[in-house]
Structure 1
Amino acid sequence: MSTGGIDLFGLLFIPTWVATLGLGVFMWLNSAAILVYAERRIAGLIQNRVGPNRVGPAGLLQPIADVLKLLIKEDVTPSQGFKTLHTVAPMIPVITAFMSVAVIPFGEGLYVTDINAGVLFLLAVASLGVYGVTLAGWSSNSKYSLLGGLRAAAQMISYELPMGMAVASVVLVAGSLSVVEIAASQEYLWNVFINPIGAIIFIIAAFAEANRTPFDLVEAEQELVGGFHTEYSGMKFGMFFLAEYMHVFIGSVLITTFFFGSYHLPFAGYWLPEMSSLAKGFLDVGVFTAKVVFWCFVFIWVRWTIPRFKYNQVMKLGWGRMLPLSILNFLLIAAGMYAYTHLF
């Protein structure tokens, strides 16, 4: 765990890992509500319409109204389905989303814990989310839900492989599996400049893993009614809704952490002056948050700009294009690192 802490005017000492955990949980919890409002506003601007403007000033209370509506809706469980799994399935993506907080650094020294296999932990946690979607489709005992769950499983497996190879190329550059050390290694040069192909592959895979347009085939309403959550209502459906936006947020966090310098400004090691630990902490968190907000905007922007792919196109892109390209990129990065280590 990170050492040190925050001294509040001599009255209260808060360990750094406790403060970071609180910050992370706060950001993760509020990310869904903020992103729902932001998506509706940005969609309105892109489509030349108003967006939410009825509930509260400028529609700011619309996310709260949505939650209240879901809470008072009737919770319907299919009589022929598997009721226990039907109830548990929506919780899995949300729980796995929260688990990623543990190893993400928000600034220099601002992390809950630094495990030497943090990258493997993040990849493992990300892969667990598919179980919730697959179990939801199977336990509903509906052909539409089952097909949506199977699509989700196939899609996530297809894009986890190139995503893993892209992250492996980052590990080669940093020389460590620690997420904290990967973030720290980008003080002088961001990984996107060293490994641009890996960054592109990871960004595309992050869209597919989050089941966002143009990769939202798992809930294609024109084919599958609603996909894996067809038989869900009330707050159980709300949990899937929450998980989708939390995974958008996590995807933005991982893109920022692995390729865009994490909490570092561009080439910060060359020009950023020395400052107090408190000022540096505020700067780091501000820079990290600004980058994550930008990538959340990109997720929304792409959704309302690019039309949905066909399923065969999604699979062809994953297996026929991105996987071979990610393997080739890994080999190029490995050769470059070997040459840099032994020749310079």
Structure 2
Amino acid sequence: MANDLIGALVVMLGVLFVVLTMIAYLTYLERKVLGFMQDRLGPMEVGPWGLLQPLADGIKLLSKEDIIPSEANRAIFRIAPVISLVPAILAFSVIPFGHDSFSLLGVTLHPYIADINVGILLILALSSIGAYGILLGGWASNSKYSILGALRSAAQVISYELTAGMSVIGVLILSGSMSLVKIEDAQSGGFWHWYIFPQIVAFVIYVISGIAETNRTPFDLPEAESELVAGFFTEYSGMRFSLYYLAEYANMIIVSSIATILFLGGWNPPIPALGFIPPVIWFLLKVYFFLFFFFWIRATLPRLRYDQLMRFGWKIMLPVSFANIIVTGIAAYFLER
């Protein structure tokens, strides 16, 4: 029991360190990718090739004054960014990065913090809680721009979280489990076993819903700069301002990790002959592929109008996701007979 507890604590601290480092350098990576796509260099001044830019940004934000509007609800204004960030970090507790446990100094370490039989449901629930931080932050700011951004975010999350949940059901039918570890195990043996092929429709729906849930372009209506200044965090400054950014990038990693696990085999190599490469490398390569796709979309597509966003979610995405579940269920029933 003590060995398992120590192992879980070591993995927890390791995952937390890696995730926070990834979040910090995703801001750098995004600025670099966007720079090259726009024929410029991006950050270059702080450190070689600008590699210390995230550190400089962190120091700058910590040193800035934490301003609270005089008419704001001070308690909720302070806690709202934390409500957005904490669920995003907690979701990493059930993300499996590999399949083989190993011993270090007599302590058994697993490539995940916890493997629970309803892991996918836990992540969906935590993503719902994170939306409250945006809604409360916009309302507590007592600003017309902030409350409009918060209301947009609430409607957007309700609309696209539904389709994201529906897109997952097809994979659960095929795998017969809601454990993320077992879903990855079911896709071992080569890329022809990955669920992206029988569930290509669900994959497209999930990716679009994931972009919308993370408020990324072209679905960044809650923080539309040209319309709402900065949306729900218009009145925030200093470190509280950065907490919303940390939550957004953490959610991007979670969405990419879930897409990797459900549709691209997770830590499994595309062909068994490449199994000598550590599973965590395959997992991270697939996750970074999706993160690059987030940046690519931002550099390519314009923002939708809000009525287009809602109409697309309810009139196209939702019916198609229901149709996918029905077809998958019928196919699974006859194939098992």
* Native 8 Å contact 1:187 1:267 kept in 2: no
2:186 corresponds to 1:182 = no
| 1:156-167 alignment runs, 5 A limit | 156-167=157-168
The residue identity in structure 2 corresponding to 1:85 is I
Residue in structure 2 matched with residue 277 of structure 1 by the alignment: none
* Rounded Cα–Cα distance in structure 2 between residues aligned with 1:104 and 1:73: 34
The residue identity in structure 1 corresponding to 2:316 is R
* Rounded Cα–Cα distance in structure 2 between residues aligned with 1:33 and 1:272: 31
Residue in structure 1 matched with residue 150 of structure 2 by the alignment: 149
How large is the Cα RMSD of the aligned pairs?
A: 1.9
* Rounded Cα–Cα distance in structure 1 between residues aligned with 2:236 and 2:14: 32
Question: Which residue of 235, 241, 259 corresponds with 2:239?
Answer: 235
For residue 325 of structure 2, give the secondary structure of its aligned residue in structure 1.
Answer: helix
Residue in structure 1 matched with residue 213 of structure 2 by the alignment: 209
Question: How far has the Cα of 1:19 moved from its partner?
Answer: 4.5
Question: How far has the Cα of 1:267 moved from its partner?
Answer: 4.5
2:248 corresponds to 1:257 = no
Question: Which residue of 223, 228, 252 corresponds with 1:224?
Answer: 228
* Rounded Cα–Cα distance in structure 1 between residues aligned with 2:326 and 2:51: 49
Question: Which residue of 301, 307, 310 corresponds with 1:315?
Answer: 310
Q: Deviations over 1:217-260 (max 9, x none)?
A: 10112211210001101111011111111111111111111111
CA 1:59–1:169: 2 relative to 1, 3 Å: same
| 1:1-344 alignment runs, 5 A limit | 15=7, 17-109=8-100, 110-188=111-189, 189-268=193-272, 271=273, 283-342=278-337
* Rounded Cα–Cα distance in structure 2 between residues aligned with 1:18 and 1:186: 29
The residue identity in structure 1 corresponding to 2:175 is A
Question: How far has the Cα of 1:57 moved from its partner?
Answer: 0.7
* Native 8 Å contact 2:92 2:254 kept in 1: no
Question: How far has the Cα of 1:137 moved from its partner?
Answer: 0.4
* Rounded Cα–Cα distance in structure 1 between residues aligned with 2:185 and 2:129: 27
* Rounded Cα–Cα distance in structure 2 between residues aligned with 1:310 and 1:298: 22
* Native 8 Å contact 1:74 1:233 kept in 2: yes
Q: Which runs of 5+ in 1 are unaligned?
A: 6-12, 274-279
Question: How far has the Cα of 1:71 moved from its partner?
Answer: 1.1
* Native 8 Å contact 1:86 1:140 kept in 2: yes
* Rounded Cα–Cα distance in structure 1 between residues aligned with 2:126 and 2:15: 16
Q: Deviations over 1:183-208 (max 9, x none)?
A: 11111311101210001100111100
Q: Which runs of 5+ in 2 are unaligned?
A: 101-110
* Rounded Cα–Cα distance in structure 2 between residues aligned with 1:272 and 1:79: 60
Q: TM-score by structure 1 length? A: 0.90
* Rounded Cα–Cα distance in structure 2 between residues aligned with 1:26 and 1:331: 42
Provide the identity percentage. Answer: 45
* Rounded Cα–Cα distance in structure 2 between residues aligned with 1:83 and 1:214: 32
* Rounded Cα–Cα distance in structure 1 between residues aligned with 2:88 and 2:6: 25
CA 1:263–1:47: 2 relative to 1, 3 Å: same
For residue 300 of structure 2, give the secondary structure of its aligned residue in structure 1.
Answer: coil
Question: How far has the Cα of 1:14 moved from its partner?
Answer: 6.8
The residue identity in structure 1 corresponding to 2:22 is S
Q: Deviations over 1:95-148 (max 9, x none)?
A: 001111211111004222111111111110111110000000000011110010
* Native 8 Å contact 1:21 1:101 kept in 2: no
Q: TM-score by structure 2 length? A: 0.92
* Rounded Cα–Cα distance in structure 2 between residues aligned with 1:172 and 1:297: 29
